[in-house]
Amino acid sequence: MFNMSVEDIIKKIVEEKNIDDSIIREKIRQKINALSNLVSEQGAAYIVANEMGVSLTTEAQKSGFFKVNELKPGLRNISIFLRVQRILGTREFEKNNQKSKVGNFIGIDDTGSCRVVIWDHRVKMLEDGELKPNDVVKITNAYVKDNPFSGVEIHLRNQSLLVLNPPEAPELPEAQLSQNFLKKRISDIKENELVEVLGTIVKVEQRKPFFEVCPECGKRLKNENNQWVCPVHGVKSPAYNLVLSTVIDDGTATIRTVFFGRNAEKILGLNGSEAFIKSEQAGDDVFIIKNKEHELLGSQIIVQARVIKNDFSGNLELRVRSLTTNFDLNQALKDFVENLKENDLNSETNLNNSTNDSLFNNNSTNNSSESSSTTFTVDEEII
């Protein structure tokens, strides 16, 4: 439940008791000795703080504030502190002949991230840029809903409160602003951008899908005199990591798209050592790829990726950071097209020639994932 570091605990005791930190350190050492080294330094620090009457419970813990990983659909009247990670935009709609507005942002704390949905007058905060990435918000009296596409969501209602950058907020992780993936057409992407692309896999490269890595540090191993060598850990018996190269087409252009590690595992449905073993058994390095190719070709995928320039070919390609398959294609296209419009307006690029209709023109025949499944998986992993 607690996860304060030894240094944080010492700091807290120093602040509350106004004594020198060397005294506290000595007390912690004595406590470890007294307990015959059966307690960690952190554990001993907790005991010392407790004995000195210093409470390590944070304000949030005392007052019933939730953490993201404690949110469950159906919870009402919850309170939470969040860091704004990313603004997802706003939308106007009509319900019962009344115009309403809805806006979303992603909030994070030290346990996870979730979507926050706000309505009507509060949407102005997003539109005016009053609420922006890296701000901290205190939300009270909100409720939790399940969203099949994005997991649990916090919804604010009229009685809810949203306080911007409250002084009593606990420490929260910094927003990773670089994780802002812009929905784009392939024909519009540029080098080094972080983009989200929705397209169809039209080619799977016939290349060995696994490579040898150090089981200790994950670095790629070099083969020296028939031994696998890690630059840091020396000769190692290798673990295997996955790589999968594909070409994705969104109707505006195609782009080489490369999946590593967990992302490749997700697509291939096995891990690196399984791929290695199966390929050994089959006596064919590309056995796994050949086996999976039919299934992958023509399937729709959403990838969040960094755009890099391939040193050899000079062409742009995508290095995938996270991916989504088996989504509801109609819904995804709708979201995508809405966001594209916003991005187009924001980006002044002249897109008069491209129409949204061109998305998926090439792929009217194979839409099996559209109807068979609505599973939505999101992976924020970074390779």
Nearest distance in Å: CB 231, Zn ion: 7
Please tell me whether residue 235 binds Zn ion under the rule CB under 5 A: no
Nearest distance in Å: CB 212, Zn ion: 11
Nearest distance in Å: CB 230, Zn ion: 3
List strand residue ranges (DSSP E) for the chain, in order: 78-95, 98-109, 112-119, 136-147, 151-155, 161-164, 182-183, 194-204, 210-213, 222-224, 227-230, 234-235, 239-249, 254-260, 300-309, 316-324
Residue whose CB is less far from Zn ion, 59 or 216:
216
Please tell me whether residue 233 binds Zn ion under the rule CB under 5 A: yes
Q: Residue 147 forms beta bridges with which residues? A: 151
Please tell me whether residue 232 binds Zn ion under the rule CB under 5 A: yes
Q: Considering CB under 5 A, how many residues would be counted as binding Zn ion?
A: 6
Residue whose CB is less far from Zn ion, 184 or 236:
236
Helix axes 287-296, 272-282, angle to 10 degrees: 110
Residue whose CB is less far from Zn ion, 230 or 244:
230
Contact range with Zn ion by CB under 5 A, out of 105-113, 199-207, 208-216, 341-349: 208-216
Residues 6+ positions from 366 with CB-CB distance below 8 Å: 200, 297, 298, 299
Residue whose CB is less far from Zn ion, 19 or 217:
217
Please tell me whether residue 214 binds Zn ion under the rule CB under 5 A: yes
Q: Residue 249 forms beta bridges with which residues? A: 200, 254
Interaction residues for Zn ion, span 56-95 (CB under 5 A): none
Interaction residues for Zn ion, span 103-122 (CB under 5 A): none
For CA atoms 277, 282, 286, 291, give the dihedral sign. negative
Are 156 and 114 contacting, i.e. CB atoms less than 8 angstroms apart?
no
Nearest distance in Å: CB 276, Zn ion: 18
Residue whose CB is less far from Zn ion, 217 or 282:
217
Instruction: Return the number of other C-beta atoms located less than 10 Å from residue 314's C-beta.
Output: 7
Nearest distance in Å: CB 49, Zn ion: 38
State the Cα–Cα distance between residues 206 and 204, nearest whole angstrom: 6
Residues engaged in binding Zn ion (CB under 5 A): 214, 216-217, 230, 232-233
